[in-house]
A = this chain, B = another copy of it.
Amino acid sequence: MTPETRDRLTKVSTATLCTALFKRGLRHQMIQGVLPLNPGLPNMVGEAFTLRYMPAREDRNGIEVFQNRAHPQRKAVEECPPGAVMVIDSRKDARAASAGGILVARLMQRGVAGVVTDGGFRDSPDIARYAMPAYHSRPSAPTNLTLHEAIEINGPIGCGDAPVFPGDVVVGDAEGVVVIPAHLAEEIAAEATEMTVFEDFVQEKVLEGRSILGLYPPTDEHSRTDFAAWRTARGR
């Protein structure tokens, strides 16, 4: 992802990105059912670095496993690249935590762009105060060992019913998280940027009292000329 693409993606919404993906036949890229713990932050943007959990077998998941420095959960936290987004496949099961405040703090401190699970985080009140975006389905206090064993780092996964490949571009806003296939990131970012300019124009006109018919989409000629003029005036 180029710096320009990253920059553009911080300024568009997941809703607009979903529409650009829909136009290309991609209908399942939104991670279903996750919300931000800290919705006031700027957009989360980064390449996906993934962690996959499987159901925990009790004899492999005693509290002592974390004595092992190579435990995949801890290893993933130390290896996730700065600027990336850690995406965790928790099989949509939030009955036990995907991670907690200390690991999320470590990700933040290492410069990671954000963290997403389709399960839940523990220490969620702490995480909600951090400056790094985090998304989950609901708070979940029980330790991950209760139900989840970290089994694979940076392979292809599902998260909230969306397909996620390492390197895909992940964008989050106050509404949720969308996954853009790596090879489409640049063109989607460009298209969404253009769409956002037009939607800002439409939003303004609608709030001034104009009908959406002929304006959204701009099937009326004068909608297109008005937009051209507005755009020039705003320098966008």
A contact residues vs B (CB 8 Å cutoff): 13-15, 17-19, 22-30, 32-33, 35, 39, 54-60, 63, 66-67, 69, 74, 77-78, 91, 95, 97, 100-103, 105-106, 109, 122-126, 138-143, 145-146, 149, 151-152, 155-158, 161-163, 173-176, 178, 181, 199, 202-203, 206-207, 209, 211-214, 216-217, 219
Residues of B within 8 A of A91 (CB): 91, 158
Residues of B within 8 A of A63 (CB): 19, 22-23
Known contacts A67-B219, A101-B203, A149-B163, A28 near B15 by CB under 8 Å: no
Known contacts A18-B141, A55-B28, A219-B69, A123 near B175 by CB under 8 Å: yes
Residues of B within 8 A of A214 (CB): 69
Binding site of A, secondary structure by majority: helix, strand, loop or mixed?
A: mixed
In the complex, the count of this chain's copies comes to 6
Residues of B within 8 A of A158 (CB): 54-55, 91
A153 vs chain B, min Cβ distance (A): 12
A145 vs B175: C-alpha distance when bound (angstroms): 18
Interface contact A26-B212, CB-CB below 8 Å: no
A58 vs B145: C-alpha distance when bound (angstroms): 16
Say which residue of B33, B105, B143, B181 sits within 8 Å of A203 (CB atoms): B105
